[in-house]
Structure 1
Amino acid sequence: MKTFRTFINQFLVGLVVVSAASVICQPVKAELFTGQSGNVKAEITFDKPQEYQYKNVRLRIVRAGKTVLDKTLPQESEYDRPIGGLFSEKIPVMDLDGDKEPEIIADFFTGGAHCCTYSLIYRYDRISGQYKQIRHDWGNGAYKLEDLNRDRIPEFNSRDDRFAAAFTAYAASAYPLQIWQYRQGKMTDVTRRYPKLIANHASQLWKDYNDIKRQGDDGKGFLAAYLADQYLLGQGQEGWRRVQQAYTKRDRSQYFVELRKFLREAGYYR
């Protein structure tokens, strides 16, 4: 089974490859992504006047044949690429909070070797009859929508991107598990509710640490992510003992000070 790290890397590499390959093609003037759940249909249209340029990105939401929302989506720059869903050209239209009302997710990729993806999530407010939007940034990574607790409501299975290049080069970085839940217009970190998944993730990180160490890397990025997972499990003290035994290089004292400070500021312990 592929690890989530492999999944993230393949996703980012895929976006870069697709972007590079599209240089060969003639620019497309207009494109369209769609998605539907029940009587709710969403479509994203945009103009592409030249390669790597995306303008007039619009979201249209139709309910029971009536257009409820038709507006230009906010972009940080004209290079933010609408990508429909992260792994298909279908816009995710699904119930994210169990209220029998589908939400709409508009995903963007900002381009570049490492960065970034973000999601605009739209929720229908029955009182006002309008859609309200929040934004969630995924950083260098992405997410997978999975029903992790089998309640028929999906969670966002992701990673903590704050660890990217925090202790080593980006390519040698590793990340603790991070699971988000969408409820009534808010995203909440619910990672600690999934100890079995965290434990499996930590075990894989430890294996990856030993693999990369044999390749000559000091493994600081993997040790940091592993220790964060251990804190999520309530086993921070045990995790520290293992990390301190594993890392014996000259900069160990400085590394441990920086790691402790980082984990505290990131909220892994108080």
Structure 2
Amino acid sequence: MPIRRLLLPALALLISSALAQSDPPPVKSWGRYTLQYTPRNEARTYIPAQVLLKQGTRTLLTASDDTIRTELQPLRPGGLPELVITLYSGGAHCCTTTLIYTQDNGRLENIGVLEQGNYPARYADLNGDGTKEVVVYSDGLAYYDWSFASSPALGTVLGWDGLRLADRTRAYAYLPGQLAVSYFKELLNELKTAAADDEGPRAELSGYYGNMILAGRGLDAERVLRSQVFSKSPTLAAWFSAHRGDLIGASYAQPEGRLSIFSGAVYPPPDQQP
């Protein structure tokens, strides 16, 4: 699943580890269920890829998109690993959607639909408890006041909290912290050469600030910006003052703002299909 943008070194490193997990062998059986996969067909009329999740002869879920990946990941304790179905639309800068299912309660149950935008997810056991967290790089600030190529990413983590997948970013604050450090370094470099109206410094400032908020250090970031950035660039200071509320809102909306539960049998739902 391609990434179409210029990446900071830290973000490129994090995403490369996610892409290294790409294209596992398709899941054919999962406990009491089976999966049937049909790749997209472009021979005459375009037909998207499709996966059927079945119990015996009964089809419980039909999912379709340009590209589909299936894998098993242990995202909650006990029972079988969860079934992860990743759908990619094939569009520019969009869109990746992940459906997550469990059967640990004796029935097929969706425990999450994650709208990821441009970035793949990475699955890693970050605390050594035997279940994996979902590391997601959000493009929630894409196109805000800059082109997509300059849009900053926000580092977030979802994990099982005993009842559901929930925002666990603060427990792994070093992940958005790494991105914040990279954005801040780029911001300082840009200030030496960029024109006053260049979009780069605005985007890098926002990447630094948003990721510091996610790491629980938003006030620290404001102090650093006042002492090391705004004294050098009144233009950036004025821009930040005007947009601070939007940046805070966008950062706090991640990642649960992109997570929902799906109870239907066809995805995308018929009313959302072209």
TM-score (norm 2): 0.70
Partner of 2:62: 73
Partner of 1:57: 50
CA–CA separation in structure 2 for the residues paired with 1:166 and 1:109: 23
Partner of 2:181: 203
Deviations 1:139-158 (A, max 9, x none): 11121111111112111112
Question: Secondary structure of the equivalent of 2:35?
Answer: strand
CA–CA separation in structure 2 for the residues paired with 1:139 and 1:252: 30
CA–CA separation in structure 1 for the residues paired with 2:109 and 2:58: 7
Question: Secondary structure of the equivalent of 2:53?
Answer: strand
User: Post-superposition, which runs of at least 4 consecutive aligned residues in structure 1 deviate over 6 A?
Assistant: 9-12
Partner of 1:264: 249
Q: Is 1:246 matched up with 2:235?
A: no
Which ranges of structure 2 fall in alignment gaps of 5 or more residues? 1-8, 254-274
CA–CA separation in structure 2 for the residues paired with 1:7 and 1:53: 34
Partner of 1:191: 169
CA–CA separation in structure 2 for the residues paired with 1:227 and 1:111: 31
| Cα displacement (A) at 1:6 | 5.0
| Cα displacement (A) at 1:120 | 1.0
Question: Secondary structure of the equivalent of 1:255?
Answer: helix
| Cα displacement (A) at 1:195 | 2.6
Partner of 2:35: 43
Structure 1 residues 109 and 250, CA gap change in structure 2 (3 angstroms):
same
Deviations 1:37-71 (A, max 9, x none): 88567534125332693447232356xxxx38634
Question: Secondary structure of the equivalent of 2:213?
Answer: helix
Question: Secondary structure of the equivalent of 1:145?
Answer: strand
Q: Is 1:219 matched up with 2:201?
A: yes
Contact preservation (8 Å) 1:56, 1:72:
no
Contact preservation (8 Å) 2:79, 2:104:
no
Question: Secondary structure of the equivalent of 1:168?
Answer: coil
CA–CA separation in structure 2 for the residues paired with 1:177 and 1:213: 24
* Identical pairs, percent: 20
Structure 1 residues 120 and 187, CA gap change in structure 2 (3 angstroms):
same
Structure 1 residues 3 and 251, CA gap change in structure 2 (3 angstroms):
closer
Q: Which amino acid aligns with 1:264?
A: G
Q: Is 1:148 matched up with 2:126?
A: yes
Structure 1 residues 142 and 214, CA gap change in structure 2 (3 angstroms):
farther
**Greater RCO, 1 or 2 (C-alpha within 8 Å, sep 6+):** 2
Q: Is 1:94 matched up with 2:76?
A: no
Partner of 1:21: none
Which ranges of structure 1 fall in alignment gaps of 5 or more residues? 16-31, 85-90
Structure 1 residues 7 and 73, CA gap change in structure 2 (3 angstroms):
farther
Deviations 1:146-202 (A, max 9, x none): 111111211111223211222321111212211111467733111001133333332
| Cα displacement (A) at 1:119 | 0.5
| Cα displacement (A) at 1:255 | 3.5
| Cα displacement (A) at 1:234 | 3.3
Partner of 1:237: 219
Contact preservation (8 Å) 1:33, 1:44:
no
- Between 1:154-163 and 1:131-140, the stretch displaced more is 131-140
Q: Count how many residue pairs are aligned between Structure 1 and Structure 2.
A: 235
Contact preservation (8 Å) 1:158, 1:177:
yes
Contact preservation (8 Å) 1:34, 1:44:
no
Structure 1 residues 6 and 265, CA gap change in structure 2 (3 angstroms):
closer
TM-score (norm 1): 0.71
CA–CA separation in structure 2 for the residues paired with 1:69 and 1:123: 18
Q: Which amino acid aligns with 2:248?
A: L
